[in-house]
Amino acid sequence: MTKVTILLEVLVYLCFKAINMFGKGSRLYSIFKMKCPRCHEGNFFVDKPYKLSRAGDLHQNCSNCGLKYSKEPGFYYGAMYVAYALAVALFVTLWVSMNLFFTNISVGWQIGIIVLSAIVLTPYMYALSKIIWANLFIKYDKDARGYGLTKKSTDSLSV
Ligand SMILES: [Zn+2]
């Protein structure tokens, strides 16, 4: 085998791995599709993140598996830490990118771009932080369909 074929096989393997990372059953699938963390079928949010009147509003239960999305009052206060981490990641990514690719951009423009991006992305980051927080505590269960409809849905949150 030549080095090129080995390299190609590694690339194909990595592509399949990357596809699996976003496939059903992975946390990334639930996060980016904004689906129930347990069954990956029911919608997590009532509406899209940019529908500002209902931004971040969750369904009470999953329409597919019946999982109660909020185990206790204030469960999603912890999502603030996730939101903070996302904001820092956005800031660092933008700042490093601008300094790598646009070396002659002024500090004022850099701050303006970062602030504008933060404002525009706030509804999406808010939604992301909530579903990431939920995914930290709720595991995927491929047999979850209908589970919560027959059992008490409050028993179903695995912490
Ligand atoms: Zn579900």
Convert the pLDDT of each residue in 21-72 to its tens digit: 778 888 999 999 999 999 999 999 998 888 888 888 899 999 999 999 988 8
- How many angstroms does the Cα of residue 33 sit away from the middle of ligand 1? 13
Pairwise CA distance, residues 73 & 25, whole Å: 27
Determine the distance separating the centroid of ligand 1 and the alpha carbon of 17, expressed in angstroms: 25
CA of 143 to the centre of ligand 1 (A): 10
User: 70: domain range?
Assistant: 3-156
At 87-130, the pLDDT tens digits run 999 999 999 999 999 888 899 999 999 999 999 999 999 999 99
Distance 7 CA to ligand 1 centre (A): 40
Supply the pTM of this predicted model.
0.77
Confidence of residue 1 (pLDDT cuts 50, 70, 90): low
Q: Does residue 149 surpass a pLDDT of 70?
A: no
Report in angstroms the alpha-carbon separations of 131 from 6, 98, 106, 152: 39, 29, 36, 22
Task: Measure the CA–CA gap between 25 and 119, rounded to whole angstroms.
Answer: 32
Tally the domains of the chain.
Answer: 1
